[in-house]
Amino acid sequence: MNFEYFLAKRLIKGKEHKSSMSSAIIKIAIFAIAIGMVMMLITVATGVGLQRKIREKVAAFNGHILISSYDNNNSVESLVPIKRDQHFYPDFTEVKGVAHIQGVATKWGVIRTEDDFEGIVVKGIGDDYNWGYFKEYLIEGVLPDFTDPRNNQILMSAYTASRLGLTLGDKINTFFLKKKATSNSPANIRTFEIVGIYDSGFQEFDETFILADIRHIQKMNKWNNDEVGLFEVFIDDFDKIDKKGGEVHNAIPSTLEAQTIALKYGSIFEWLKLFDLNIIGIIAIIIVVAGINMITALLVLILERTPMIGILKSLGTDDWSIRKVFLYNAGYLILIGLFWGNLIGIGLLLIQKNYEIIGLNPATYYVSTAPVYISLGYILLLNIGTLLLCLVMLLIPSFVVAKISPSRAIRFQ
């Protein structure tokens, strides 16, 4: 190996023997590897980042798994209450990997202002609500405090506030339909105060939900204080959501059902799965293009060093040893391309991650800026995979060495 490595090193440093054409081709090959790595890093980082960001937003509004009564018939509004006194609440010990469980309730309502009105869903939450999944979307004001006696604080989306011309601190009248409405009292009326405004960028949820004290819904529905509309379950590893969803379903009473957000919002998550195919397709195309450029560069190197190959063969060097010389040289060129590709690619990703320069249409992508997910694992995988696949592709053109005759090669100029 030392012999082949020494020759490869001399071949790399032997710039005085390189023609301008071969030098240009080698530079193009290095450039192709570098640009290819930049594109692969951006593709994976933004693709995975978008998947994770959208999953986080859906989970922030729903949890990962929803436990509800079968009698609700998938209604957005909580129709049938569930007792808090369940063996799985507040600690779901039967299923490993459950991070948190909280009781909530929802109810349709209409916000009425002097000039306009808007239909909304009030999501009632209590002191068991984990704001850790939601607080990053707060853009103004404070998070409501529902640990004290029932209050009128609410968290409203910037989208709804803008449509109704509301600002932080405004008080709003919200009308809820009664089960037994009368001409004198057709609806329940609640006056809420906006103490916080959020913006998730997920318009489907922003235009729907406001967050309020669950005790308002309990009182309007004539529920007891220990009754909720459904339970939201959060798990540690989203990649295991289907498995954990089945385990949760088997652990709860037969009168309740468990549904994962991947099933409830099937169209969104099916769309996200397409990102995996796109990422794989783009990476495959880039590696093939980079490999073809390296094949061209290797063939030029072999043809340019034909006399050297002839001399080595006449001295008894076998074909595989000579091929390894050129493969070492090609590997060195690939590493140069990977170095610059990583330097540029990771630099661009860090700029986007910290400064959010590139924006997206939230109506289409559910996010306002291109999210970036940087992981050492996939960076190493891309680099190692690119290096190995390119070297494997170069094995075929390296067979040209075996076709070179020593007598003719020595006379070759």
Structure tokens at 222: 């004539």
Mean pLDDT by 10 residues, the chain (413 residues): 56 52 82 95 95 94 94 78 94 95 96 92 95 93 89 95 95 87 72 96 92 95 94 96 96 94 94 92 92 88 80 79 84 94 97 93 86 96 94 87 69 54
Task: Report how far residue 280's alpha carbon sits from residue 287's, in angstroms, rounded to the nearest whole number.
Answer: 11
Return the residue matching tokens 């978008």. 50
Task: Report how far residue 58's alpha carbon sits from residue 54's, in angstroms, rounded to the nearest whole number.
Answer: 6
C-alpha dist (Å) from residue 201 to 80, 198, 360: 31, 9, 10
Q: Give the pLDDT confidence score for residue 338 in this predicted structure.
A: 96
Q: Give the pLDDT confidence score for residue 15 in this predicted structure.
A: 46
Q: Give the pLDDT confidence score for residue 9 in this predicted structure.
A: 56
Q: Give the pLDDT confidence score for residue 316 in this predicted structure.
A: 78
The DSSP call for residue 359 is: B
C-alpha dist (Å) from residue 122 to 167, 175, 318: 18, 11, 78
Q: Give the pLDDT confidence score for residue 323 in this predicted structure.
A: 85
8 Å CB contact between 294 and 29: yes
